[in-house]
Structure 1
Amino acid sequence: MILQETSTLANGVSIPRLGLGTWFIDDTHVVQTVGEALRLGYRHVDTAPAYRNERGVGRAVRASGVPREEVFVTTKVDAGAKSHDAAAAGIDASLRRTGLDHLDLVLVHSPRPWRRFHGPERYLEENREVWRALEEALAAGKVRAIGLSNFDVDDVENVLDGCTVAPMVNQVLAHIRNTPHELIRHCQDRGILVEAYSPVAHGELLGDEEVARVAQRYAVSVPQLSLRYCLQLGLVPLPKSADPAHLRANTEVDFTITEEDMDLLRGVEPIADYGDHRAMTIYGGQRDLSSLLALARSRVRRRR
């Protein structure tokens, strides 16, 4: 069963091969979602300051009754924290917000601040300073592993060229119709585990007829096919759901996609439009994670 499978990071720390993403789940509802996931056997939860739900995640973990050492909790240094001191303060703030005595993995959320994600400035020296703060947190026992998120090949190499401890993880957007094969190979060749966030493309794959036809061959859903695809690429997928039925279904991925179908899925055309998420800077839009999250919540309130 996938919930019992782990990978080993470069420093020997075990990480569950399937995680729970929590972006767009607010701080109140995330308590119930994470609690339900832990009851189902999930042992890997991903959060971030930009998600505004670290407190709820920590509360759920502490209240779950699952021994702390059995739950792998990831958070991130905010994308705008581009100095050693800001990164160090961010890690301490995440520890306070979660109420946990340590964090299992801390990632640099982005090589550039969100509003400047597609800008010309590279923040090379700044990212090395941020990385130094992560290395210090690792040495101090505040965190068990450290890594990157949304870093491309050049940004990864910049950190590797100046680090004492190499990144153990790079968390990137990866799914059917958007698989950064070169970046994945580059990281894996350097012993960096790649995590896949939004493995169902924010739901945009659900209406994809070509992908659905492949899923039908295995008698599985499109999300299940998407997760299995990531797993067979050697990635750790982080699907997000607050629905208990979906949480359960996302664990039912004990099948194998044939190499012929893997080749087909690797080669499908990229997604051109992420729907409501197109406004996010990582897709070329103008909104950062926090502002997009605030917009989504305001729409939910208006519907009520």
Structure 2
Amino acid sequence: MPAVSDKRLTLNNGTSIPAVGVGCWMGACGEGEHVTNMVKLALDLGYRHIDTAENYGNEQSVGKALRESGVPRHDVFLTTKLDQSDHGRVEQAFETSLTKLGVDHVDLYLMHWPMAYGESGDTLQPEESPTFVETWLEMEQLLADGRAKAIGVSNFNVKTLTKLLAHASVVPAVNQVELHPCLPQHELLNFCNERGILLTAYSPIGKAKFADDPAITAIAAAHGPGVTGARILLSWGVQRGTAVIPKTVHTERLKENLQLVHLSAAEMETLDRFYRRPGSHRSVCGFHSAELGGSCFGWTYEQLGWAMAEGGIHL
């Protein structure tokens, strides 16, 4: 099957975003040549969608890669994110990110998490100011002069989005969440589709924890030699209308991640239903806590709108 490296999806502001990007969370926070080299390599291979965050601590390294790549800035869709400690001071945080990146605008600015951290670093509760609604209203102001071409959220669910939309003047362009066949988030996808919000998947291959499952490798084998489980998972993500931002520092995997295949209706259904197997409906991320019956960064699953499910959580 031919590669589909130029597939794009349309945002609700009329602009488009490359369906496959490269994520810049490196497993640990910090600047470094390893970040710059990965982004430069990705751009050289044809990626035009780069996703980072203030929280990753590597905006300067990403910006260096953009400058050294030789790729015109207007050809790259660049995303960064507002840190939890910066709710309530959006303008200052955004300016800092622009300075670190060395750019005059970003294509997408996301609220990284709905919860805010207080001055002492403690997590504020949902009713405490600044709430995510207050933070969103500040983010809307960034659109006025074009320094942020679009704004969106991350790690939001139906519950938090419903509350946000009740007060927002601008519908989020994107909601970036953990998304893969063990956590397909069908309800959230339908909710966002109905409201013109694009879902973007982080950990789209489930951190390679199930890409070699027989059900997935069988689909890969049906598409010919060299097609891997990772390619199948990314193809499923894009074919269902979501953007995907896998991360890898390996050249061959970066190439592979751009080589999407077309899946049949039966193959899509197999992947859509993969989470229904016993023990399969789960997150692969390590930021969950068993405290208070399930929590994440100081909010309970109930506050976040996440529900417990067999074998883990659904978001």
* Short-chain TM bin: 0.7 to 0.9
Give the aligned residue type for 1:95.
L
- Measured on the aligned residues, the alpha-carbon RMSD in Å equals 2.4
Gapped regions of structure 1 (runs ≥ 5): 289-304
Q: Which of 225, 230, 233 is 2:232 aligned to?
A: 225
CA displacement at 1:209 relative to structure 2: 2.7
Q: Name the residue aligned to 1:300.
A: none
**Structure 2 length as normaliser, TM-score?**
0.82
Instruction: Write the deviation string for residues 123-145 of structure 1: whole angstroms up to 9, x where unpaired.
Output: 69711211122111111221101
Q: Name the residue aligned to 1:302.
A: none
Deviates more, 1:179-188 or 1:132-141: 132-141
**Superposition map of 1:1-304 within 5 A:** 1-24=3-26, 26-28=30-32, 29-83=34-88, 86-113=89-116, 121=126, 126-219=131-224, 220-253=227-260, 255-269=261-275, 270-272=280-282, 274=284, 277-278=285-286, 280-281=287-288
Instruction: Write the deviation string for residues 26-83 of structure 1: whole angstroms up to 9, x where unpaired.
Output: 5211111110111111000000011111111111111111111000110001123332
Give the aligned residue type for 1:265.
L
Please give the alpha-carbon distance, in whole angstroms, between the structure 2 residues aligned to 1:124 and 1:41: 43
Instruction: Write the deviation string for residues 92-146 of structure 1: whole angstroms up to 9, x where unpaired.
Output: 11111111111110000011248999x9736697112111221111112211010
CA displacement at 1:286 relative to structure 2: 6.6
CA displacement at 1:203 relative to structure 2: 1.8
Give the direction of change, closer, same or farther, for the CA distance of 1:42–1:123 in structure 2 (3 Å limit).
Answer: farther
Give the aligned residue type for 1:8.
T
CA displacement at 1:157 relative to structure 2: 1.6
CA displacement at 1:2 relative to structure 2: 2.7
Q: Secondary structure at the match of 1:226?
A: helix
Is the contact made by 1:124 and 1:158 (CA closer than 8 Å) also made in structure 2? no
Please give the alpha-carbon distance, in whole angstroms, between the structure 1 residues aligned to 2:47 and 2:128: 36
Give the aligned residue type for 1:267.
R
**Structure 1 length as normaliser, TM-score?**
0.85
Q: Name the residue aligned to 1:298.
A: none
Give the aligned residue type for 2:54.
P
Is the contact made by 1:2 and 1:18 (CA closer than 8 Å) also made in structure 2? no
Is the contact made by 2:179 and 2:203 (CA closer than 8 Å) also made in structure 1? yes
Q: Secondary structure at the match of 1:80?
A: helix
Q: When the two structures are aligned, how many residues end up with a matched partner?
A: 281
Query: Identity of aligned pairs, percent?
Result: 35
